Chain A
């Protein structure tokens, strides 16, 4: 239902105005800013897709294109056939929710207030949140195991708790597609496992379509059913995990020789990095 057809995008050049106001500035990336080149992919309902690639490969850009925050210079992104650029913001937000990598609150909000922010697409400009909205927000917090924190100040939470609250806020949008950008980037192992379990549960129980951008192989292999390997803004391979994640693709993607096997016990692909291959 969410498709990208031959989508290309480059930073710094002429752009069509997108919904977002702060595009990545060149200083956010050490090398040349990543672009997206002729990427095509198709995501169906209920999929759990990982966009995998090293830093700077354009994962976040692709995610933002999929979410309609950026408009592609070429090609189009469509949701159920309609280009996302033509869907009004609120309507799109009721279908697609995005959880960015990090959340820095400029001011001090309580957890329930952050969760309620997810109700924005459902309310008119001057409409105040009603009991139903509050229930939905609380439910979302409960789904992420943060209901007990609802009166706490967001700033006082741990990294893992913050991430879960932000996910709850995205869930409160009642969207059926969830885009996650590097959800485990600043979390330690315990939280990583927690988030993976949470996302898997949401995908299973709520039939949430999930797209996760990550560079973490372990996270990708433990969670996703299919992968899109992104190298320098172009698709290297796409498909079920076992098919796409091979020694060859990992070598090509990360410049690392690795041992790739399917672990029967864990029912997942495991990757053991062996050595770095010097650049050609």
Chain B
């Protein structure tokens, strides 16, 4: 009996030691992070994980620190070799990069798969990143701050008449062909909604859709927000591009000169800078209410 008890205790101690050893061997949180998703890169910097980033996508430009970091490709051309050579312990991928995620899993590298969607998903992703990286407090603070700021924008425009708004996310330059607009899903729709506008295509359950000029004439938006993901060109070119809408004068937005072109690469990023986008939207949608310096 005594021998069995000693054997059991020895076994238990051995197991505990083994488990403790294995836990001590692995770091508790990822320390070498690669991010293919620019908006998440921004989040990481925001919550203080910037120093842990060892590689970013080809399209990362913010904050300025990323310019020094190695590039690992992007959505359609991820460079697996480069990724592996950087010895990451966490790779943040797009949800559609299933192939990449599978290969990384085979290599024993943890991944976080991101599918971007709504506005509410942004603070949520911040919190997820926080818990994944052991920066819960910073993440919670950043998320709450973002939510607070967004609510602030919502409050500021509350009660104001909500214009019927067309959100154009792409079209052929100097032409009304290939009009790509935001449907009723996605963070751009959410932002416009927050900033006090009614998306004329809110009934379409898609993030983006091609529409005809006929549909636009039929839905008669009172405001057209056109998003461009580059720096603003000269005023003359902006005006020329705005004038492209002139033939559709029966659209209230055109008739009343409420076609607003917005520029900036942050417009396409569902990251922490959405608060700036929200303010810009609010300024464009309710110029009478907001005095945002631009």
Asked whether the complex places CB atoms of A and B closer than 8 A, the reply is: no
